[in-house]
Structure 1
Amino acid sequence: MTTPALLDFREIAEKLGIKVFYWPDTSQALFAENKPFIFLNETLSQQQQWQDFCHELAHVLLHTGDQFYMSPLFREYQEHKANNFMYHACIPTFMLDELQLNDSTPQTVMKLQELFNVEYEFALKRLTQYLNNHRLVPDWNSEKR
């Protein structure tokens, strides 16, 4: 997956051996007989399904246990990690690096929204994260160092 056009959750799920189902309830991930499943809300837009898939993928890859039986603080911690993962999986840093972004104008945000198939607010938040990080650590990934 080297370009935004290749970021397709169906292909990612297939390559990782994750079964994806659509249903009318809230998106969620679970394991049954040690096999991962992601259930996506069928009423969401394509952008929202992509975002939800990446959030649930974090649970599949990073977490164990049933949140129903966890302490609220640990559940909150897992959700925070899954949300952070979601932003980076939907709009990977190395792909943003290639775009050489310097601003967060509405035109730039809309460009990211279209390129990465995410909602406007999602693109804005990810771009803000990216720009804030790169202003604090300039040329982190460059070969000029």
Structure 2
Amino acid sequence: MFSLVSDVFEPQTWLESRVYDLLELHDIKQPEEIHLTELCAAYGIELWNITGRSRAHPHPYLPNRYVIAVDERLPLPSRREKIAHELGHLLLHEGIQPIGSTSMIHWQEAQANHFAEHLLMPFPMFVPLLENCNRYEAPFLLARIFRVPLALAQKRFDRLLGRLYAKGHPINW
């Protein structure tokens, strides 16, 4: 089935293309190779465990460096999602942005969310994973393999189904 719909797995937005370029740059080809700690280190970003709201901010001691502080009480899948989201802010929005309009903040949050989705669950990595499961098992399988919250896996899987439908491919698995 998936060999017939390879076009669905190609990047379809500027952001998706940029994230896939980042994965290629770091030679990340499998879900187990998505190491956020290493990605952050490659860009000089420190990860700190805190108790409180996860966020990114300038490093308090090192100029032109940043910190992603993540609530240590979160389960690992949620921590990964938060780190990827904050990494998206830092890489896409050139660090900390000044206070902007509400619409600009919403746009940046949506863009950071999409960055995290593409980084943590790239569609091309879905191909071998989904060949031997049904559409009801798929989100659970994806959540486990990509180490993300089930809600994120479900959203990403729904986006895949939407792409299949938009391309005119039957969704009958």
Q: TM-score range by the shorter chain?
A: 0.7 to 0.9
TM-score (norm 1): 0.84
Aligned to 1:62: 92
Corresponding residue SS for 2:151: helix
Give the Å deviation of 1:104: 2.9
Distance 1:34 1:55, change over 3 A: same
1:3 pairs with 2:38? no
**Alignment partners' CA distance in 1, 2:167 and 2:126:** 15
1:104 pairs with 2:123? no
Work out whether residues 104 and 124 of structure 1, in 8 Å CA contact, stay in contact via their aligned partners in 2. no
Distance 1:68 1:41, change over 3 A: farther
TM-score (norm 2): 0.72
Work out whether residues 104 and 128 of structure 1, in 8 Å CA contact, stay in contact via their aligned partners in 2. no
Distance 1:69 1:93, change over 3 A: same
Aligned to 1:77: 107
Q: State which of 116, 121, 125 in structure 1 corresponds to 2:146.
A: 116
Corresponding residue SS for 2:126: helix
Work out whether residues 4 and 95 of structure 1, in 8 Å CA contact, stay in contact via their aligned partners in 2. yes
Which of the pair has the greater relative contact order for Cα pairs under 8 Å at 6+ separation? 2
Distance 1:129 1:123, change over 3 A: same
Aligned to 1:128: 158
**Alignment partners' CA distance in 2, 1:97 and 1:25:** 37
**Alignment partners' CA distance in 1, 2:147 and 2:92:** 24
Work out whether residues 29 and 37 of structure 1, in 8 Å CA contact, stay in contact via their aligned partners in 2. yes
**Alignment partners' CA distance in 1, 2:95 and 2:140:** 38
Aligned to 2:43: 16
Q: State which of 53, 56, 61 in structure 2 corresponds to 1:26.
A: 53
1:89 pairs with 2:116? no
Task: Tell me the C-alpha RMSD between the 2 structures.
Answer: 2.1
Q: State which of 72, 78, 100 in structure 2 corresponds to 1:42.
A: 72
Count of aligned pairs: 138
Aligned to 1:137: 167
Aligned to 2:18: none
* Identical amino acids, percent of aligned pairs: 26
**Alignment partners' CA distance in 2, 1:66 and 1:10:** 20
Give the Å deviation of 1:14: 1.9
Give the Å deviation of 1:6: 1.1
**Alignment partners' CA distance in 1, 2:64 and 2:134:** 44
Give the Å deviation of 1:67: 4.9
- Tell me whether 3-12 or 78-87 shows the greater mean CA deviation: 3-12
Aligned to 1:142: none
